[in-house]
Amino acid sequence: MLLIPCPWCGDRDETEFHYGGQAGVPYPERPADLSDEDWGRYLFVRDNPKGRFEERWSHSAGCRRWFSIVRDTVSNEIVR
Amino acid sequence: MSEHPDRLWRNPEPRSGYDVVIVGGGGHGLATAYYLAANHGIRNVAVLEKGWLAGGNMARNTTIIRSNYLWDESAAIYEHALKLWEGLSAELDYDILFSQRGVLNLAHTLQDVREGTRRVNANRLNGVDAEWLDPDEVQKFCPVVNTSPDVRYPVLGATLQPRAGIAKHDHVAWAFARKADELGVDLIQGCEVTGFLKQGNKVVGVETNLGPIRAGRVGMAAAGHSSVLASLADVRLPVQSHPLQALVSELLEPVHPCVVMSNHVHVYVSQAHKGELVMGAGIDPYNSYAQRGSVHVIEQQMAAALELFPIFARAHVLRTWGGIVDVTPDASPIIGPTPVDELFVNCGWGTGGFKATPASGWTYAHTLATGKAHPLNEPFALERFTTGALIDEHGAAAVAH
């Protein structure tokens, strides 16, 4: 089980959290102007690196805060 | 029993080039190589495997085979696979221990019942065998399932696909590998692709730790590592890699006659030929390439198994493990061309690739031989994530496929 550092509550068990996938994916500024290819990429394509990955978690069974961490997807080490 | 041969395939050095290079020596890569040679007469083929043959998800899955998917596109390709499974031991001249013992998908809520009966009707319209069982019929078909109404999530019924079942995964891989090798395919282990050789937007080969290998066409079949491999050609895929865990008990006398899956209490259970109970459930939620997951996922699937099978309370966990599965947004696979010429992709089978192995290989071989889609894999092309023609199988994919 991962031990995840909630910035508000500190280290807590993974079972208290929900996963949110890749961090830093903004909603398109002008969605109506996007091509079908770009809209498809926004909806369906995310990074999937082997190694460091900046990702979103929500402390859903705790303070309910959303936050980002950087985790290594091979070692599960949480880098920051 | 006849003597087992010392070797099932050669271990050749790679040649300087091939008509087709398949990257990934798992079940799908090996089946693709076999059908390229057997169906299309294309024998100048190499399968490059960075580890050993069938040592990834092919060695880690729970061997369930069924075709009771909801949508026409899925039913067609998975039913094609099931028909191939039914003749595979004979075709490959190797006993893959295919056992059509039937798969139950249990319903525990009214919505489960609606979804299940809808799927039975959809399956029948597609020529896929399917029945709806009430709780008494479930009890008769699988006496070890607890069908008491007096439990937290009582069994309200189940779909049954009688032709579904299990096979011996290692035998399947060995059988495809041996026949492909016999037909002239080079199976090259310990050969990791580190880059693609390109001329303009066209792939003309691969860079490997054993040197460059030219290729007329390259077919990727790298499962959980598909994103990593495709990124070497600057192709981004709509897949995310997750751990999927499974476990087995010690060997027990035959007690569980079929395969039972439950979306709602979240577990699937069968009994392997040797006697161990084989259980799995859903993926761990986070992205990972670690081939292991979190222990609470195992605890939850065992709790679910005990809810359904009180008789298993004294069984022990012998072994748990994890694989890396490549999950798509619509729980359906991706087979077809990429934006790079002569580079093709077969991935995104997620939690359910084993059952599709023969049809995946059959259709991917067609695509690699002709450069065109096979009618069965055409709907599964990458472009559906632009057109929006998704094939949403989250329901029929079950707790995991």
Least Cα distance to B47 among B70, B18, B7 occurs for B18
Q: Is the pLDDT of residue B395 over 80?
A: no
The per-residue pLDDT for range B151-182, each reduced to its tens digit, is: 999 999 999 999 999 999 999 999 999 999 99
Residue-wise pLDDT tens digits, B323-337: 999 999 999 999 999
Six-digit token pair at B279? 């259980």
Residue A33 lies in a domain: no
Q: Is the Cβ of B388 closer than 8 Å to some Cβ of chain A?
A: yes
Q: What is the CATH class of B17-61+169-238+329-387?
A: alpha beta
**pLDDT tens digit sequence for A23-76:** 999 999 999 999 999 999 999 999 999 999 999 999 999 999 999 999 999 999
Residue A79 placed within a domain: no
Give the containing element (helix H, strand E) for B362. Answer: helix B357-370
In whole angstroms, give the CA distance from residue B221 to residue B282: 22
pLDDT score of B281: 86
pLDDT score at B195: 98
Yes or no, beta carbons of B329 and A76 under 8 Å apart? no
Structural domain includes residue A77: no
Asked if the Cβ–Cβ distance from A75 to B290 is below 8 Å, we say yes
Q: Name residue, tokens 């090259």.
A: B188
pLDDT value for B63: 96
At residue B3 the predicted structure's pLDDT band, cuts being 50, 70 and 90, is confident
CATH 3.50.50.60 maps onto chain B at 17-61+169-238+329-387
Is residue B114 predicted with pLDDT exceeding 80? yes
How wide is the angle at C-alpha B32 spanned by C-alphas B29 and B38, nearest 5°? Answer: 140
Distance from CA of B97 to the nearest CA of A (A): 35
Does position B394 have pLDDT exceeding 90, yes or no? Answer: no
The closest alpha carbon to A12, from A21, A23, A1, A22, belongs to A1
Cβ atoms of B180 and B34 within 8 Å: the answer is yes
- Intervals of CATH 3.30.9.10 along chain B: 100-165+240-327
For residue B218, give the nearest of B338, B314, B389 by alpha carbon: B338
* Alpha-carbon gap, residue B271 to B316, rounded angstroms: 14
Structural domain boundaries, residue A7? 3-25+39-72
Q: Is B294 touching A (CB cutoff 8 A)? A: yes
Record the tokens describing residue B257, joined without a space: 């006659």
Closest partner CB to A74 (pick from B227, B289, B387): B289
> Is residue A45, in this structure, part of any structural domain at all?
yes
List phi, psi (to 5°) of A69. Answer: -130, 165
| Cβ count near B152 (within 10 Å) | 7
Look at residue A19 and tell me if it is in a domain. yes
pTM above 0.90, yes or no: yes
Whole-complex ipTM? 0.96
Residue A47 lies in a domain: yes
How far is B110 from B177, CA to CA, in rounded Å?
Answer: 45
Would an 8 Å CB–CB cutoff place B300 in contact with chain A? no
Q: Would you say residue B386 has pLDDT above 90?
A: yes
Q: Is B52 on the interface with A (CB under 8 A)?
A: no
Matching residue, tokens 């893959």:
B96
* Cα R_g (chain A), whole angstroms: 15
Contacts of A75 in chain B (CB under 8 A): 290
A13 lies in some domain? yes
Kindly list the distances between the CA atom of residue B309 and the CA atoms of B155, B296, B302, B317, B354, in Å, as whole numbers in the listed order. Answer: 12, 20, 10, 15, 25
Hey, which CATH number is domain B100-165+240-327, 2.60.40.3080, 3.30.9.10, 3.40.50.300, 3.90.800.10?
3.30.9.10
Do residue B237 and residue A21 have CB atoms under 8 angstroms apart?
Answer: no
Task: Note whether A50 contacts B285, CB cutoff 8 Å.
Answer: no
Q: In this structure, what CATH number is given to the domain that contains residue A10? A: 3.30.2270.10
Overall size of chain A counted in residues? 80
The total of structural domains in chain A comes to 1
Among the partner residues B290, B385, B387, nearest to A74 by beta-carbon distance: B290
- Coil/strand/helix, residue B59: helix
